[in-house]
Amino acid sequence: MPIIKSAIERAKTNVKANERNSAQLSAMRTAVKRFEQAKTAGADNAEDLFRQASAAVDKAASKGLIKRNKASRDKSRMAARLAK
């Protein structure tokens, strides 16, 4: 454990940020999986789920959780799957 006060505060901040980032990343992955499952099942709400998933991917990219190229690649793959 850190002894210096600023290091203790920084450790607490890192824990909070880690929890927030993990939740955001999990939400993004869940949205993408929901879209994939809906498309596989042939559900009629696939377009809505696509919009939600692409918004979640954009949000994760803007927060720095994933890189912009990965976000673009994921959205492109989802769009191609939606058009199929």
The mean pLDDT of 5-15, rounded to a whole number, is 97
Global pTM exceeds 0.85: yes
C-alpha pair distances (Å), 47 with each of 8, 29, 34, 63, 71: 46, 17, 11, 24, 18
CATH classification of 5-83 is 1.20.58.110, yes or no?
Answer: yes
Q: How do residues 11-37 score in pLDDT, each as one tens digit?
A: 999 999 999 999 999 999 999 999 999
CA 71, 72, 74, 78: dihedral to nearest 10 degrees?
130
Q: How do residues 28-79 score in pLDDT, each as one tens digit?
A: 999 999 999 999 999 999 999 999 999 999 999 999 999 999 999 999 999 9
The domain locations on the chain are: 5-83
Q: What are phi and psi of 31, to 5 degrees?
A: -65, -40
